[in-house]
A and B are shown apart, each in its own frame.
Chain A
Amino acid sequence: MADVTLMKTPAETGLVQAFESAKTLLPGNAESRAKAFEQFNLRGLPHRRVEEFKYTDLRALMREAAPFAGTPSAVQAKEALAGAKALAGVSALQVPFVNGHFMRDAVRFDALPEGVEIVPLAEALASGHDWLARLSPIPWAADNPVYQLNTSFMADGVMLRIAGPVETPIHLRFVTSETSAVATATRVLVLVEDRASVTLLETHESGNGTGHQPNDVVEIIAGDETNVRHVRMNAEGDQALALSTLAVKMGTEAQLTSINVVVGSAVSRHQVFANFDGENARAQINGATMVKGRQHADSTLVVEHAAPNCESRELFKTVIDDEATGVFQGKIIVPHHAQKTDGRMMSAALLLADGGSMNNKPELEIFADDVQCAHGATCGQLDEDLLFYLMARGLPKKEAESLLVQAFLGEAIEFVENDTVRDALTATVEGWLRARS
């Protein structure tokens, strides 16, 4: 291949301009932002020749860079939150964001559940808060262009500290309500102290018809013997280009469950970077993706078993209708010393219509000789025999299909302990299936 110099795309030029004009206004350490942006800009938006973005060519998918959203007015914020529907029925401590800005007035700081501390990120950045030192817990994530963009532009977010067991779920609710396309960059840091436990809900929604460009990063540092339950839902509008990253570092005997449910966005890419830092930790990382029309949904996962005796389970289910595209890229890394690792990764995809496509890449990188690692990937259509069985019992075809799809996705969702949350996720699946028929 000959050497080619890539021309900057309008989106890349737009990002450079946006950074130039925003860098003096953004809070916090300008140097680290500049460094992150420089690293990003060196390579530009990742494209299909970049291995990690082989199936999600951001250079092609992101035509223009939307301007970053300003702080909404009180009225606008109130309206936006009142209209928010994702996981609305679940009683939880609400931590709302509108247009990427933390709505501190909506949180009663004097009545937080015991063991919960919340620090607004914009303020923390401006004042140089102690916890900032714990941002970016996974050093190798800093090489990821999506993460670099977030580091360059992050304007707001929160830092949470969880000390002790917290019963009430904490709901990070992100709503974008602008009528024209805007970009947001939020960062959430969750410090889970030793022996603490917490349920984190994270929902992202916006209206149809506008090409918003959210880029969110949630970082969780889970101490020893912690239990973190994380549920994320992408219910963005049908034109959104949603980039998101979950970075988790786990201490000894930490337990983590995380699920990402995708129904929204024209283009979405969810990246999970998990790092086992202490022995005997366990993580279950799941995904349930439903795409239709011309949607494109990418789930990318890197699990680093940096400590021995840890267990990870990854289960990603993708249902593809119409001409949509699903992507799963998973990688389990087991270094020399991480003996007795037990990792299992599975991706299964259902194609409901001709014209859809699925790209699977379940990768293993193993250097230790006494480990169990398995990966699997399947894709295909619904089982004719099963459909026939159901239809023979009088179910119309669509209903039979729905039932089978529910069962298929249910496997990824059923581990959610909180009944109301699980029911809400199941209802989301049902809603998606209803809209289809």
Chain B
Amino acid sequence: MPAVQETIDQVRSIDVDQYKYGFETEVEMEKAPKGLSEDVIRFISAKKGEPEWMLQWRLDAYKRWLTMKEPNWARVSYDKIRYNDIYYYAAPKNNPAPKSLDEVDPEILKTYEKLGIPLREQEILAGVEPRNRVAVDAVFDSVSVATTFKEELKKAGVIFMPISEAIREYPDLVRQYLGSVVPVTDNFFATLNSAVFTDGSFVYVPPGVRCPMELSTYFRINEKNTGQFERTLIIADKGSYVSYLEGCTAPKRDENQLHAAVVELVALDDAEIKYSTVQNWYPGDAEGRGGIYNFVTKRGDCRGRNSVITWTQVETGSAITWKYPSCILRGDNSRGEFYSIAVSNGMQQVDSGTKMIHLGKNTTSRIISKGIAAGKSENTYRGLVSAHRKATGARNFTNCDSLLIGNQCGAHTVPYIESKNASAVFEHEATTSKISEDQMFYCLQRGLSEEEATALIVNGFVKDVLQQLPMEFAVEAQKLISISLEGSVG
């Protein structure tokens, strides 16, 4: 049956022509020469004051990248990207290192104000309960312009800083983990990122520490003809916990801009990382002009025993999305979770999903994915669940629903389920009641329909994370979560 009216209205309210963050900030920018070459990479590396090993790492990646071909297996189509027409580095002048917020260009501060991102600690303290405080790293094109609560975090032993600073200040830590989850050679876009990444966040949570506040990074593309290549590395040491949020927006333009990020998470024994994304890059206009190409590689490594990595994503932006936040469940008893809501409107194309790779014993994973396609968009879920020969007792539950609004769009599901272990139990989309029979029973008993109960159980979890989002659009994100998938397929 077709989608219910309420859903149609809600999806309409975030249609591509309703994009609110399309304004542009006039700031004087400093850019690297256009195009990509060894010189540009040396330029970026020098700008960041990087040690020699880092430059070599980049150059090796670049050499490798030159031999690689752009992948074409995703269900998306776009005009060829001319990699030499992009500026790989763009930073507001006076950078690096404004010592305090007072030195940051007021235009940039205004931008974040407009986006609803609190950069002044006292302001945050003024209106909000202390436990809801969020530390923010604000990345503007190629550089981080401000990072809040750094000192307070430092007291707890948590390192939260732009990765370019971390390379200078904690080279050993960075060197040990950078590229250990997403190798330089991983894929075309990850290799490109390794060569030219400019900024991003670095988080290290020491053993046994529960990070005292939410950490978040807000990415903003502003300059024309630039690409954003950020790199995020989060390490949760033994027994630690961290929750990290990521948001992103960009101005309205008729050109397409490339965003090729790499995110690496490492969870050691008993550690837990929650990684949430609200992806709201400019999606292009109703005719499909402009918009961000969002080609990112996100991967978490549950390296230690009993470690947990949770990915939560709300995807509404980007002309093209190509991303598969994954979990490598290496440690015994480790757990991976993936919760995703992807709404596509206009001419957007989404090819997204996850990979749960079970290597250790008694590893469990859960995938809940909702795709909503409207307008003339294409929305594909592509996911892999695999159990290695030694993954005794692996367990996966996957539920992916898609909903179409109108008959000009497409919703596709491409799950890969590979088991090489007899004791691994994988269920893809069995019955909804499998989510948790106890919870389901509880809800049904109180008069909810199965659909309502499923929504409540799934959303209950996701909401938990989203309620803490510092961004203005958290409200929208929450609305999205509650969208009824009545009439969904798959």
Interface residues of A (CB under 8 A from B): 1-3, 51, 336-337, 339, 349, 351-381
- Specify which chain B residues have a CB less than 8 angstroms from the CB of A362 in the assembled complex: 413, 415, 428
Q: Is B430 an interface residue (CB 8 A)?
A: yes
The contact of B417 among A336, A359, A368, by CB within 8 Å, is A359
Within 8 A of A (CB), among B196-245: none
- Specify which chain A residues have a CB less than 8 angstroms from the CB of B69 in the assembled complex: 1-3
Are A358 and B412 in contact (CB-based, < 8 A)? no
- Specify which chain A residues have a CB less than 8 angstroms from the CB of B405 in the assembled complex: 369
Are A364 and B417 in contact (CB-based, < 8 A)? no
Encode contact with A along B417-431: 1 for CB under 8 Å, 0 otherwise.
111111111111110
Are B421 and A376 in contact (CB-based, < 8 A)? no
Known contacts A1-B68, A364-B413; decide if A379 and B419 are in contact (CB<8 Å): yes
Residue of B nearest to A329 (CB): B416
Are B417 and A366 in contact (CB-based, < 8 A)? no
Are A377 and B422 in contact (CB-based, < 8 A)? no
Q: In the bound complex, how far is the Cα of B403 from the Cα of A372, in angstroms?
A: 10
Interchain residue pairs A-B with the least CB separation, the first 10: A351-B422, A380-B425, A360-B417, A369-B404, A377-B428, A357-B420, A373-B489, A364-B413, A370-B2, A367-B410
User: What's the minimum C-beta distance from B299 to chain A, rounded to whole angstroms?
Assistant: 19
Q: In the bound complex, how far is the Cα of B407 from the Cα of A369, in angstroms?
A: 5
User: What's the minimum C-beta distance from B12 to chain A, rounded to whole angstroms?
Assistant: 15
User: What's the minimum C-beta distance from B185 to chain A, rounded to whole angstroms?
Assistant: 10
Q: In the bound complex, how far is the Cα of B408 from the Cα of A337, in angstroms?
A: 10
Are B2 and A360 in contact (CB-based, < 8 A)? no
Q: In the bound complex, how far is the Cα of B330 from the Cα of A67, in angstroms?
A: 48
Residue of B nearest to A320 (CB): B422
The contact of A354 among B2, B421, B427, B490, by CB within 8 Å, is B421
Are B489 and A360 in contact (CB-based, < 8 A)? no
Known contacts A336-B408, A352-B422, A365-B410; decide if A377 and B489 are in contact (CB<8 Å): no
- Specify which chain A residues have a CB less than 8 angstroms from the CB of B427 in the assembled complex: 376-378
- List 19 additional contacts besides A366-B489, A377-B415; criterion CB under 8 Å: A351-B419, A354-B389, A355-B389, A357-B418, A357-B419, A358-B417, A359-B417, A363-B412, A369-B405, A370-B1, A376-B428, A377-B426, A378-B425, A379-B419, A379-B425, A379-B426, A380-B425, A380-B426, A381-B422
Known contacts A351-B422, A357-B420, A369-B3; decide if A363 and B413 are in contact (CB<8 Å): yes
Q: Is B18 an interface residue (CB 8 A)?
A: no
Are A373 and B490 in contact (CB-based, < 8 A)? yes
Please tell me the size bucket of the interface on B.
35 or more
Q: In the bound complex, how far is the Cα of B389 from the Cα of A354, in angstroms?
A: 8
The contact of B404 among A358, A368, A374, A381, by CB within 8 Å, is A368
Are B490 and A375 in contact (CB-based, < 8 A)? yes
Are A361 and B414 in contact (CB-based, < 8 A)? yes
Q: Is B161 an interface residue (CB 8 A)?
A: no
Q: Is B116 an interface residue (CB 8 A)?
A: no
Q: Is B73 an interface residue (CB 8 A)?
A: yes
Are B489 and A367 in contact (CB-based, < 8 A)? no
Q: Is B402 an interface residue (CB 8 A)?
A: yes
Q: In the bound complex, how far is the Cα of B416 from the Cα of A103, in angstroms?
A: 43
Known contacts A351-B422, A368-B407; decide if A374 and B489 are in contact (CB<8 Å): yes
Known contacts A2-B67, A361-B414, A373-B489; decide if A367 and B409 are in contact (CB<8 Å): yes
Ordered by A's residue number, 15 sampled pairs between the chains whose C-beta atoms are within 8 Å are A349-B419, A351-B422, A358-B417, A360-B426, A361-B415, A364-B490, A365-B410, A366-B412, A370-B487, A374-B429, A374-B489, A375-B413, A379-B426, A380-B423, A380-B426
Are B426 and A336 in contact (CB-based, < 8 A)? no
Q: In the bound complex, how far is the Cα of B44 from the Cα of A382, in angstroms?
A: 57
Within 8 A of A (CB), among B437-452: none
Q: In the bound complex, how far is the Cα of B67 from the Cα of A3, in angstroms?
A: 9
Are B429 and A375 in contact (CB-based, < 8 A)? yes
- Specify which chain A residues have a CB less than 8 angstroms from the CB of B136 in the assembled complex: none
Q: In the bound complex, how far is the Cα of B70 from the Cα of A3, in angstroms?
A: 11
User: What's the minimum C-beta distance from B190 to chain A, rounded to whole angstroms?
Assistant: 13
Q: In the bound complex, how far is the Cα of B425 from the Cα of A378, in angstroms?
A: 7
- Specify which chain A residues have a CB less than 8 angstroms from the CB of B428 in the assembled complex: 360, 362, 375-378
- Specify which chain B residues have a CB less than 8 angstroms from the CB of A377 in the assembled complex: 415, 417, 426-429
User: What's the minimum C-beta distance from A428 to chain B, rounded to whole angstroms?
Assistant: 23
Q: In the bound complex, how far is the Cα of B489 from the Cα of A365, in angstroms?
A: 10
Q: In the bound complex, how far is the Cα of B404 from the Cα of A1, in angstroms?
A: 35
Q: In the bound complex, how far is the Cα of B66 from the Cα of A1, in angstroms?
A: 10
Are B489 and A364 in contact (CB-based, < 8 A)? yes
Are A376 and B430 in contact (CB-based, < 8 A)? yes
- Specify which chain B residues have a CB less than 8 angstroms from the CB of A371 in the assembled complex: 489
Known contacts A366-B411, A367-B407, A373-B489; decide if A361 and B1 are in contact (CB<8 Å): no
Q: Is B406 an interface residue (CB 8 A)?
A: yes
- Specify which chain B residues have a CB less than 8 angstroms from the CB of A355 in the assembled complex: 389, 422
- Specify which chain A residues have a CB less than 8 angstroms from the CB of B421 in the assembled complex: 351, 354
- Specify which chain B residues have a CB less than 8 angstroms from the CB of A369 in the assembled complex: 2-3, 404-407, 409
Encode contact with A along B61-101: 1 for CB under 8 Å, 0 otherwise.
00000011101010000000000000000000000000000
Q: In the bound complex, how far is the Cα of B420 from the Cα of A336, in angstroms?
A: 38
Residue of B nearest to A381 (CB): B422
Q: In the bound complex, how far is the Cα of B369 from the Cα of A364, in angstroms?
A: 14
User: What's the minimum C-beta distance from A135 to chain B, rounded to whole angstroms?
Assistant: 31
